[in-house]
Amino acid sequence: MERSLFNQFRQIGRDLFLRGLVNSHAGNMSVRVGGRMFITRRGSMLGRLRRQDIVDVEIDLPSSHILLASSEIGVHRKIYKETSSLSIVHAHPPFSVLLSFFEDELLPRDSEGSYVLKRVPIVAVEKTVGAEEAATAVAEALRDYKVVIMRGHGSFARGEILEEAYMLTTALESSAFYLFYMREGAKEFRRFAERYKDW
């Protein structure tokens, strides 16, 4: 793996941890390179990634490294097979997860969230970690959206590069923070706001 790619993993992982979007040993990231992906190791600390914490596995074929890879490798593989994504960030943003217990989708009300995210679907599955059901639900949602929340678990964001997937994750959490604290009667300022639900 090139030094520049490892540095991206290390920097984004550190930012995710410092921003409070993952706890010490949670979350995972991956980057697709042709038919392979580089993915964070099972149980790695995103805030303190080392070179040995990035595992190289095939997307479509069996790999001897698969047992070292994140427990969410099946979700990452499915997303890469079903979308044009080149990078994925899976985080546990607190306000986003909290709202997922009450909503079926998030419709950001803040300017940046409205522009960047528009609408964020929430998918519900019985088994949330490493299950085929979870992989299918998340990948299907990410065909049409850049970020999705798995109820009670966390978010998956896809992008061309890790920085884009990280940006979407932070935009989601900021929007969820505003939505959590907003009260009935909040003033609407967006033009054509009534159309956002259909996007």
The CB-side HSE value for 44 (13 A sphere, CA atoms) comes to: 27
**Is the CB of residue 171 less than 8 Å from the CB of residue 93?**
no
**Is the CB of residue 119 less than 8 Å from the CB of residue 197?**
yes
- Those residues whose C-beta lies under 8 Å from the C-beta of residue 184, and which sit 6 or more positions away, are none
The confidence score (pLDDT) of residue 62 equals: 63
- For 43-68, what is the mean pLDDT? 83
pLDDT tens, residue by residue, 111-128: 999 999 999 999 999 877
- Is the pLDDT at 188 greater than 80? The verdict is no
**Structure pTM?**
0.89
Question: By three-state DSSP, how is residue 41 classified?
Answer: strand
The confidence score (pLDDT) of residue 71 equals: 80
CA distance 171 to 178: 11
Report residue 149: phi and psi, to 5°. -110, 135
Fold of the CATH domain 3-183: L-fuculose-1-phosphate Aldolase (3.40.225)
**Is the CB of residue 23 less than 8 Å from the CB of residue 92?**
yes
The confidence score (pLDDT) of residue 3 equals: 84
- For 162-181, what is the mean pLDDT? 97
- For 166-186, what is the mean pLDDT? 90
The confidence score (pLDDT) of residue 195 equals: 67
The closest of 173, 185, 179, 198 to 94, measured between CA atoms, is 173
What type of residue is 66? I
